[in-house]
Amino acid sequence: MKVNKADIVISAVSPAQYPNTGLPEIALAGRSNVGKSSFINTMINRKGLARTSGKPGKTQTLNYYIIEDAFYFVDVPGYGYAKVSKTERAKWGQMLETYFTQRDTLKAALSVVDLRHPPTEDDVQMYEFLKYHSIPVIVIATKADKIPRSKWNKHIKIVKDTLNLREEDEFVLFSSETGEGKDKAWSLIESYLKI
């Protein structure tokens, strides 16, 4: 998809604020700092639309970006920050549970992980959660530019094995720096949007 039009619509704190246009949604899940904002910016060719490197754990909101008036990227707040209080963590968990289990317009989730390291316990739990709720997943293993090409296969295998990636789910090696994987990511996303 060639994107000319992209805007942030809302940082929603409660389901009442989610858009009611009925347009399809692609969610992004991943640890804080894994590269979700950079992924969005790379996909839509805009440097600063999605906020990168925000203060960890500050956003307990779902950030909706509308793309070409056709669908939404929904940036789900990052997990895996110990600093967040127990109460905040519980609230965050509740929000995600509600979103992922009740959002009819959600077509697929992008599980964003760091190619350099084995997926964390949180990454695995999120993937299992999505699978449990029958949500199609595309794994985006980002920061590929930080690993020499000769080692890509080894890292890909570690990511897939650690997640126990299912047959039906897709995997994309990605870099926001080089644009590696961008075309593949678009074609997979489009297949879920049927556009």
Query: What is the binding site for ligand GDP (CB under 6 A)?
Result: 30, 32-38, 52-53, 78, 142-143, 145-146, 175-177
- Angle at which helices 36-43 and 182-193 cross, to 10°: 80
Cα torsion through 137, 142, 147, 148, rounded to 10: 80
Amino acid of residue 147: I
**Residue whose CB is less far from ligand GDP, 75 or 194:** 75
For ligand GDP, give the closer residue by CB, 38 or 111: 38
Q: How far is the CB of 56 from ligand GDP (least distance, A)?
A: 8
Fill in the amino acid letter for 176.
Answer: S
Residue 185 beta carbon to ligand GDP: minimum distance, rounded to whole angstroms:
12
Q: Which is nearer to ligand GDP, 59 or 132 (CB)?
A: 59
Q: Which is nearer to ligand GDP, 24 or 57 (CB)?
A: 57
Supply the minimum distance, in Å, between the C-beta of residue 176 and ligand GDP. Answer: 4
From CA 43, how far away is CA 39, in angstroms rounded?
A: 6
C-beta of residue 155 within 8 angstroms of C-beta of residue 141: yes
